């Protein structure tokens, strides 16, 4: 059966829940960094795509990261609608797969796309000063894969729980 826009939650609801999920995930990831469990800061890495000024990189990166979180939330909602099922556990599973893809494919690709990141093969230079994440982000700490997977899983679980939350609220 083809998916229709009627299968998706209202736009305002997807926007709010996308923000809630992004805030939850970012809190986990930044909390892990603050506790010394990981040195990975995806907002900082996103911001340094646009500027070499570290202070502005954090500000720009957080703005870009929130917008990216919203965009991915809409993709999750399309996935749920196409499956005709939306539960916290399905969302958690999608988040787990998303996190695994990010760690195994996305982070190792980053040095080839990021204008300020050194690669595993070429050392740092005057422009490329950021350390590459390496496979599964392990260059940023041996707990980075775990904290990233937890953050992504919570992100997906929050998005998957939307229909149950809406039903409970009325």
Flag whether 29 is in a domain. Answer: yes
Number of domains in the chain: 1
Q: Is residue 26 part of a domain?
A: yes
Report yes or no on 2 lying in a domain: no
Express each pLDDT in 111-133 by its tens digit.
999 898 888 777 766 667 888 99
Residues 6+ apart with CB under 8 A from 121: none
Q: What is the pLDDT of residue 12?
A: 83
- Compute the distance between CA of residue 96 and CA of residue 92 in angstroms, rounded to an integer: 6
Domain with 125 in it: 10-169
Residue 31 belongs to some domain of the structure: yes
Classified as helix, coil or strand, 117 is strand
Is residue 1 a part of any domain in this protein? no
85 occurs within a structural domain: yes
Domain membership flag for residue 5: no
Give the DSSP H or E segment for 80: helix 54-83
pLDDT < 70 regions, the chain:
1-8, 124-127, 164-170
Q: What is the pLDDT of residue 7?
A: 62
pLDDT score recorded for residue 166: 64
Residue 34 half-sphere exposure toward CB, CA atoms < 13 A: 6
Task: Look at residue 15 in the predicted model and tell me its pLDDT.
Answer: 87
Is 4 domain-assigned? no
Q: What is the pLDDT of residue 128?
A: 72
């Amino acid at each position: 059966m083809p998916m229709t826009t009627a299968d998706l939650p209202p736009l305002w609801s997807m926007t709010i829940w996308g923000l809630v999920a992004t805030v939850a995930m970012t809190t986990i990831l930044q909390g892990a960094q603050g506790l010394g469990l990981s040195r990975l800061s995806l907002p900082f890495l996103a911001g340094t795509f646009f500027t070499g000024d570290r202070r502005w990189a954090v500000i720009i990166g957080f703005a870009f990261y929130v917008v990216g979180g919203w965009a991915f939330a809409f993709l999750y909602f399309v996935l749920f609608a196409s499956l005709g099922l939306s539960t916290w556990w399905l969302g958690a599973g999608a988040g787990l797969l998303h996190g695994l893809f990010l760690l195994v494919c996305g982070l190792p690709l980053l040095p080839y796309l990021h204008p300020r990141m050194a690669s595993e093969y070429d050392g740092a230079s005057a422009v490329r000063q950021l350390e590459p994440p390496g496979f599964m982000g392990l260059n940023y700490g041996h707990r980075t894969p775990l904290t990233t997977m937890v953050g992504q899983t919570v992100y997906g679980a929050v998005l998957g729980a939307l229909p149950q939350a809406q039903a409970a609220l009325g």
